[in-house]
């Protein structure tokens, strides 16, 4: 017997695994990738391979909030009146910080974290 992964025929989402002898259109022997269900992720069969998608936006953002808060904290000092940065660089960092705050407006399945201008 082979280990096969059962797929929901309507949503194409992974249902689980089973030991069966017959393969059909709702099963595959291709092992799904590691994914983090605690991060709101699930895996879906696209016909030839697995895709990881965010299925619970709330859970995804809860788990990523600490990353955003950490990135904001790293640049808190740049916005102080006595910051050694030029006004131009301060403005770039201010825009970066706003992009971090706005990150929850993005589609979690196509998330792009902004780049800290000080890291260039």
Same domain, 30 and 11: yes
Predicted confidence at residue 104, as pLDDT, reads 86
Q: Quick one: 78 and 50 in the same domain?
A: no
**CB 1, CB 21: distance < 8 Å:** yes
Q: Which domain holds residue 32?
A: 2-54
pLDDT at 75 over 70: yes
Q: Residues 97-119: pLDDT tens digits? A: 999 999 988 888 788 999 999 99
Q: Domain boundary residue among 54, 72, 87?
A: 54
Do 61 and 33 lie in one domain? The reply is no
Q: Which own/partner pairs from 14-18 qualify as long-range (CB within 8 Å, at least 24 positions apart)?
A: 14/42, 14/43, 14/44, 14/45, 14/50
Same domain, yes or no: 18 and 64: no
- My answer on whether 95 and 49 are in the same domain is no
Q: Are residues 8 and 38 in the same domain?
A: yes
Domain match, 88 and 115 both: yes
Position 1 pLDDT exceeds 70 = no
User: Which one of 16, 34, 54 terminates a domain?
Assistant: 54
Measured CA to CA, the distance from residue 120 to residue 101 in angstroms comes to: 20
The pTM of this model reads 0.61
Do 33 and 83 sit in the same domain of this protein?
no
pLDDT at residue 96 in the model: 97
**38 and 80 share a domain?**
no
Residues 74-100 have a mean pLDDT of 95
For 6-60, what is each residue's pLDDT tens digit?
A: 777 888 888 777 766 666 777 888 888 887 777 788 888 898 899 888 888 777 7
Please check whether residues 65 and 109 belong to one and the same domain. yes
Tell me, what's the pLDDT at 19?
A: 65
Q: How many folded domains does the chain comprise? A: 2
Q: Region 58-77: what's the mean pLDDT?
A: 88
| Residue 74, pLDDT score | 96
């Amino acid at each position: 017997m082979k280990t096969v992964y059962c797929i929901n025929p309507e949503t194409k989402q992974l249902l689980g695994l089973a030991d069966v002898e017959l393969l059909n259109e709702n099963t595959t022997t291709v092992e799904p990738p590691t994914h983090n269900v605690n991060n709101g992720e699930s895996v879906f069969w696209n016909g030839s391979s697995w895709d990881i998608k965010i299925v619970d936006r709330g859970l995804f953002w809860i788990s990523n909030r600490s990353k955003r808060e950490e990135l904001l904290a790293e640049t808190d000092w740049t916005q102080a009146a006595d910051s050694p940065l030029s006004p131009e660089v301060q403005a770039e960092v201010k825009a970066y910080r706003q992009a971090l705050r706005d990150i929850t407006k993005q589609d979690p399945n196509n998330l792009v974290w902004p780049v800290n201008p000080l890291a260039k």
